Structure 1
């Protein structure tokens, strides 16, 4: 703001003019105080009139002197440059519809806010420059050969890597047979058989398990054209419940950086159903008929 006032304005004379205005205000106050007090001396009436007139004339002379000084300083102050720093935006203050379109007041508020933002940004920049981050990845002078190469994300894994992970999981569980196929391109689809208990269809995106469908061992998992039926549910309520619990497991366990860990955990959890119709319930001691299957919380 100082730069704006310095354009065509004598700041020293401006400050003296403000002092002259204060002196003129004091002189006017003394004149009115003199008129208010009147003739209060204990002399004769003629002496009171002479003293009052003399005192009143002195106050008027002070007012006249201060007024001349103010006029003289006003000529020294000068006038601001005609080129307004806001250009045509300075004419917004002349808008008579301030109550409906207060553009000028909003413009001044935005200007103050931007100045304050610039000030705080300068302080923050000074504080950050004092911190020497030696291990920063953006450090100047670091060779491009020494920078670590970006690791491939889990969404762009090569099909060979996905096949290796599935084959390792297949070897971990001998009682579970896993057959991998890619009927829709690069996304794998697993057809798993757990003993003689159930069959599972797993739809994946690379290594992320997208959806699972659990059906009974004696149910048909193929459609009439020989493709896997990935839409129809099981005909048995118990396996529909198992499907719901499997979906809950996948929603509960999510490790985007390590999807192979989630796959192994899911296979380990699913393996617990190998004795679902052979072992009695640990709570009631009865064999499963119409009850609920094992949930992921029990695991």
Structure 2
């Protein structure tokens, strides 16, 4: 920064003189009001008091006019600050949000609930994956990648009680649909789904996966001679 310059485009010396001129102007204005306040005093005759008051008042007004002209001259010498002056971090103050209008508490509460729900579902997924039986076939040496058998999808093994509970909840979700559950083979669940008076569906489940479905009309018989589905 050059000597005598406050900032780009501002003359430091003229700026200092302008401050002194402002102080002188304030003193001149104060003397004008003091003259008006004192009025015509300290004179024996009326004519002498009038002449003294007018002379003092005119001198005070000339001082105000002289100091004001000097201040205007110095203000032209001070110059104008550069518009390209960098504000750095102070330019970001206008972007600060108002604290009362920032929904900080509600956002933190929502994030806390979401974190708890994520942890709960992650625990359920971990438990299901631990119950899954993985069967890996050993790869034979020398067999090309094109001839390797395609890996079969593994079956998710779940307790029968858990499967029954899921089907029971689905049945309660749809009042217009009824679900009858049976296990004729002891393990796989068989569902008889009746949709209003439209149709009936026999669904063979393997754990929670649908293995086979048979669609029947509403009036068709879905039971065998021994009363089984």
TM-score range, shorter chain: 0.3 to 0.5
Structure number with greater Rg is: 2
Give the structure-1-normalised TM-score: 0.30
